[in-house]
Amino acid sequence: MSPLLKKLLIGLLLVIVIGGAVMYLGKNAPAPATGLVSSTTGENPIIPATDVNEVALEAQQQTESLVLLLQKVNNITLDTSIFDSPDFVGLKDLASPLAPDRNPGRSNPFLPIGSEARVDESPILDAISTVQNSSTQTQNSVQ
């Protein structure tokens, strides 16, 4: 095969694959919306009365279901007497303290690797210490 024929076949194959993908993905595109959502150019959309009534009915049903749900939630009562029972009061905390992290990582994880800044050279920490020093001086002068 000549190089020109190979390039033409590859190009034709790419066009067929792209066209097939567009056709396949185009099938799943949503149908154009009707009713409240429409696209017009410079004119006011006309909404059929049946669509407005359907939307109003659906909104009313959703509102009613939300009100019923809220009424159910308001009717919930919790029995707090369990917190006064001897069994609950007798519970002991068996949690063990966490060990300190032995490898806390870098002081600034966003610095490029190899350019570790020392903590005391950080401009943010310098600004914080400046603010702390000025607030300490202010407190000392007030006292």
> What secondary structure does DSSP assign to the chain, as a single string?
--HHHHHHHHHHHHHHHHHHHHHHHHHTSPPPP-TT----SSSPPPPPHHHHHHHHHHHHHHHHHHHHHHHHHHT----GGGGGSHHHHT----PPPPPPPS----S-TTSPTT-PPPGGG-HHHHHHHHHHHHHHHHHHHH-
Mean pLDDT calculated for residue range 41-52: 59
Structure confidence by residue, pLDDT tens digits, 65-90: 999 999 988 888 888 888 999 999 99
The pLDDT score that the predictor gives to residue 78 is: 83
**pTM value > 0.75:** no
Confidence of residue 118 (pLDDT cuts 50, 70, 90): low
Structure confidence by residue, pLDDT tens digits, 86-107: 999 999 999 988 888 788 778 8
